[in-house]
A and B are shown apart, each in its own frame.
Chain A
């Protein structure tokens, strides 16, 4: 699904990533680890197609609409409710039976009772849960997740554990994390950025 060779990214003179080789096949679960500023977020943004590499080869054999991306930002409108945000993304991603899918995800991630409240009233953890709903809404073939456990409480983290456990092996996942111990049992590969 993803093949990268000699990937390099620079912002001006600053080299953020260099010499990255990566293969992600169908059903693979790749962990991306590294300290702050090592380029994890940049690598994931490259894989999502949000930025272009400065040098190297990056081949992604997945349509834009079949990829799910979770970044540092939740990518939802603060002034819209959870239902309105997911409904908008559902339309743009051509999700069949959109309302049922939105309802099912909101229930699964514990946001059903707050579904008609504006995101601006949500806690950071609730916003992260909504971001996870948005990422999974269109049942993507490839998931690119940047620190998915960020801001989640223990209950939210357990929900995500269960979700990733169900997706592992069925979908390709690339997950950046500071705490790989939580996901090591699922991982089929690992890339450590220096």
Chain B
């Protein structure tokens, strides 16, 4: 129970910090909406729904990157990460709290972005929405770990996309498949498997990322 309580306390802290600083969510919202507007004018008429779904995934991945790049900034101001690492709680709780908070920001951005996508481009069926949710979980789980690694380095803005984008490709493939395939279940199962494997790997390896 104390593990769950630690995760809840850490997630609540991240939400509270964002509510006051407003550093991440407004930037994500502005980015995803303006990206969809630009794509709306860039996509030629008659390009078809499949091309539009592809652009949706570009917008989702880069919006998530924007949020992840800011995810550990409060911990690096005033050296708070050292304080969290020294606490006797399980260090994976720090990763899980950050993953849940980042997921909340990404979902909040999508509450605006997905209706905008439907308005500008194409309808989204249930499988596509489940695909987006599963991909969000995967991006945030892996991304929170990689963002913690990148935040310790000097070139974090460069390092995070270099590390995350190759690992996000399976999620894009799965998300696209869920949206356009006549058999979306296969792709949804693939996304769930990806989430399970990478969440466990990230959970287990976070301790080694934050300690020397």
Prevailing SS type, chain A contact patch: loop
Q: Mark B1-21, 1 if CB is under 8 A from A, else 0.
A: 010011001100100110011
Contact of A67 among B78, B86, B89 (CB under 8 A): B86
Q: Looking at chain B's contact residues, is the secondary structure mostly helix, strand, loop, or mixed?
A: helix
Tell yes or no: B123 within 8 A of A by CB: no
Q: Are A89 and B83 in contact (CB under 8 A)?
A: yes
Q: CB-nearest residue of chain A relative to B94?
A: A92
Return chain B residues, CB-CB under 8 Å to A119: 78
A41 to B101 Cα, complex, angstroms = 33
Q: Quick check: A77 and B79 within 8 Å, CB to CB?
A: no
Q: A77-B13, A79-B21, A79-B74 are in contact. Are A93 and B88 (CB under 8 A)?
A: yes
B45 lies within 8 A of chain A by Cβ: no
Q: State the CA gap A119–B13 with chains docked (Å).
A: 14
**Residues of A in contact, count (CB < 8 Å):** 30
Selecting from A19-27, A45-53, A104-112, A169-177, the interface stretch reads A45-53
Q: Which has the most chain B C-beta neighbours within 10 Å: A74, A75, A76?
A: A75
Interface residues on B, range: 20 to 34
Contact with A along B155-183 (1 / 0, CB 8 A): 00000000000000000000000000000
CA distance A93 to B2 in the complex (A): 11
Q: By the criterion CB–CB under 8 Å, are A76 and B88 in contact?
A: no
Q: A187 to B69, alpha carbons, bound, how many Å?
A: 45
Residues of B within 8 A of A65 (CB): 87-88
Chain A residues near B212 (CB, 8 Å)? 50-52
Q: Are B85 and A50 in contact (CB under 8 A)?
A: yes
B133 at the interface (CB under 8 A from A): no
| Chain A, residue nearest B74 (CB) | A77
Task: Report if A29 contacts B (CB, 8 A).
Answer: no
**Which residues does chain B contribute within 8 Å of A48, judged by CB atoms?**
86
Using a CB-CB cutoff of 8 Å, which residues 49-106 of chain B contact chain A? 74, 77-80, 82-89
Which B residues are CB-close (under 8 A) to A50? 82, 85-86, 212
- CB within 8 A of A77: which of B5, B80, B85, B87? B80
B9 touches A76 (CB 8 A): no
Distance from B76 Cβ to chain A, minimum over Cβ atoms (Å): 9
Q: Which residues of the partner chain A approach B5 to less than 8 Å between Cβ atoms?
A: 91
The answer to whether A182 has its CB under 8 Å from any CB of chain B is no
Q: Which residues of A contact B86 (CB under 8 A)?
A: 48-50, 64, 67, 69
13 contacts between A and B (CB under 8 A): A49-B86, A64-B87, A69-B83, A74-B79, A76-B80, A77-B77, A78-B74, A78-B78, A80-B17, A91-B5, A91-B9, A92-B84, A119-B78
- The 7 A-B residue pairs whose C-beta atoms are closest, nearest first, are A65-B88, A73-B79, A75-B83, A92-B87, A79-B20, A79-B17, A52-B212
